[in-house]
Chain A
Amino acid sequence: MSRVIFFIGEGLRALRRGAAPSLAAIVTVAITILLLGVLIPILQTTGGKANEVRDQVDVRVFLYDDATQSETDTLETNIQQIPHVESVDYVSKQQALQNLRDRLDDPALVDQLPGHRNPLPASFEIQPDDIDNLGTITSALQPPGQNGDPEPISPAIEEVLDSRDDATAIASVSSTVKIFMLVIAALLITASLLLVGNTIRLSIYARRTEVEVMRLVGATNWFIRWPFMVEGLVCGLIGGMVAIGALLLGKVTIVDPLADSITLLSAQKTTTIAFPALMLILLAAATVVSALGSGFTLRRFLKV
């Protein structure tokens, strides 16, 4: 126990004396965490937007007006059993008309339809579990018949439409965006690790002769290492908390008031890890990275 207290005391020694290298480490950690804290939500939001677009793609099955209730019910059950179907929605003729009315600038137009007849067919809206499975579902709905032409699985089906061309375009764009975001995130994290690692290296390099002296008067490696790790941990903790304080301040004063008016910002609410969780992860990462980084970097100077 007295050992632990000793190591903590030793670890705080450099900080107590306001040694420049550990201040540099704190500042580096703070700036890095600040950058990550701003950029990670932005990356997540952008990725989230791409996902949202993917979700809007579906397959539509239009039905004949004279399809019977039992034909429709059987078809719905059959559709639900097709692999990769996530959900099926029945849209009746009335509903289709209502949807049209909602979409028009002048709803009265609908009432002026010739003969007051509803020209819109009833339909099923099918959501695939993934945009890439659109084609599979479409061909399951109308497998090739004897002459090779597509043959619908039910007499109630008038037409099967999918937004496959749009879908492929969206799929490739959104996966490019995703890869791009991942690469940027990876670069960002690598840069952060290198930056923090380098600062730690400098901070320890400045004291390498001292480490060698400690070895020469009989200190074991762990006896030397613990204080450095405590110091790294404290630097990471202080730097991380400073950065998170700044991020919270920025969120409350700038982002939150804007969130209602800017959709990109509000999208973040649904598609990303919660802000507090992100902050906790960043704080933990800062602490662990700088503590382990110190212990690891020291290795080179413990060879004497």
Chain B
Amino acid sequence: MARSDTSTRRRLRGRAAERRPEHLTERRAKPPIIELRHATKIFPGGHVALERVSLRVDRGEFVFLVGPTGCGKSTLIKMLIRELAPTEGEVLIAGRDIATISNKKIPQLRRRIGTVFQDFKLLDSRNVYDNVAYALQVIGASRSEIRSKVPDALRLVGLGDKINNFPDQLSGGEQQRLSIARAFVNHPPLLLADEPTGNLDPETSIGIMQLLYRINRTGTTVLVVTHDREMVDKMRRRVIGLADGRVVRDQSAGMYSDDENTTEFGLRLRDEMGLEE
């Protein structure tokens, strides 16, 4: 496969920033699935984790959120599921200011957002299977639905043979993948992944990115927090850069064809990262 040199790629990327991909323009009528309006988060003690952050993510997008450690990426993710409330400004999900949702209705918001937590947040008293099943049990899924979906999800993240292990019997990378399986098992329209490949080797990381890409192609909006600059560069998706709690970069990366299928996508990533298949 022929690869263009860096300078042309940069040029193309710049142009694409003005012209959004067509399938996104079509859906413009619907409110963006994520919208932050001057959202500020000041922690007790006065630390400003996010400062007047405004951004919008449309349905179906695949977005990276990058930035140095401590710049407020996880804080932003937590605000999207109302684990934290903004000190000022608004956070809207599918057009609705989530501060106005009653405590009782919050579970319904969270069921529609799959979240991969940076610290995994697994249920320690449950084995691998039951951890994933829990995400389906909360939405009232039937036993047969659970029996068919859970093993599939676990296979996709490569944990098909660890079904009976408890979280403390898993490696860091396995716990991370378990957390990913739980996040997407009920096909949420929005998937937030806070450093989903932080504990994984390059090959497994690509596998996970490929999985996220595939999930995105089924219509799910995916927001991925990562430190992995190389991966971000290679994947050529929209990148939002945070630094010191502020948005310092928001580029819709160019030169990616939207109809690149998952296999092609995986091949290209491996190729560009210099990995053998």
List A residues at the B interface (Cβ < 8 Å): 2-3, 6, 13-14, 17, 19, 207, 210, 213-221, 223, 304
- For the complex with contacts A213-B123, A217-B138, A218-B108, 11 further pairs of A-B residues with Cβ separation under 8 Å are A210-B123, A210-B124, A213-B121, A216-B81, A216-B110, A216-B121, A218-B107, A218-B135, A219-B134, A219-B138, A220-B138
Q: Does B125 contact A (CB under 8 A)?
A: yes
**Shortest distance in angstroms between A144's beta carbon and chain B's nearest beta carbon?**
74
Q: Is the CB of A214 within 8 A of B123?
A: yes
A291 to chain B, nearest CB (A): 20
Q: Digitize B145-162: 1 where CB-to-A-CB distance is under 8 Å, 0 elsewhere.
A: 000000000000000000
Contacts of A19 in B (CB 8 A): 125
Are A210 and B138 touching (Cβ within 8 A)?
no
Interface contact B111-A218, CB-CB below 8 Å: yes
Q: Are A13 and B110 in contact (CB under 8 A)?
A: no
A contact residues around B135 at 8 Å (CB): 217-218
B97 contacts partner chain A, Cβ-Cβ < 8 Å: no
26 contacts across the A-B interface (CB closer than 8 A):
A2-B143, A13-B125, A207-B125, A210-B124, A213-B121, A213-B122, A214-B134, A215-B107, A215-B110, A216-B83, A216-B117, A217-B110, A217-B111, A217-B134, A217-B138, A217-B182, A218-B107, A218-B108, A218-B110, A218-B135, A218-B138, A219-B134, A219-B138, A220-B107, A220-B138, A304-B83
**CA distance in complex: A219, B131 (Å):** 13
Which residues does chain B contribute within 8 Å of A219, judged by CB atoms? 107, 134, 138
B104 sits at the interface (CB 8 A): yes
4 residue pairs, one from A and one from B, having the closest CB atoms = A218-B111, A218-B110, A219-B138, A213-B121
| Residues of chain B with a CB closer than 8 A to A13's CB | 125
Contact among B83, B109, B123, B138 for A223, CB-based, below 8 A: B138
Q: Report Cα–Cα, A219/B134, bound state, in Å.
A: 9
In the complex, chain A residues whose CB is within 8 Å of the CB of B122: 213
Residue of A nearest to B81 (CB): A216
Q: Judging by beta carbons under 8 Å apart, are B121 and A218 in contact?
A: no
Q: How far is the CA of A223 from the CA of B125 in the complex (A)?
A: 17
Closest residue of chain B to A304 (Cβ to Cβ) is: B83
Q: Which of B166-193 contact A (CB under 8 A)?
A: 182
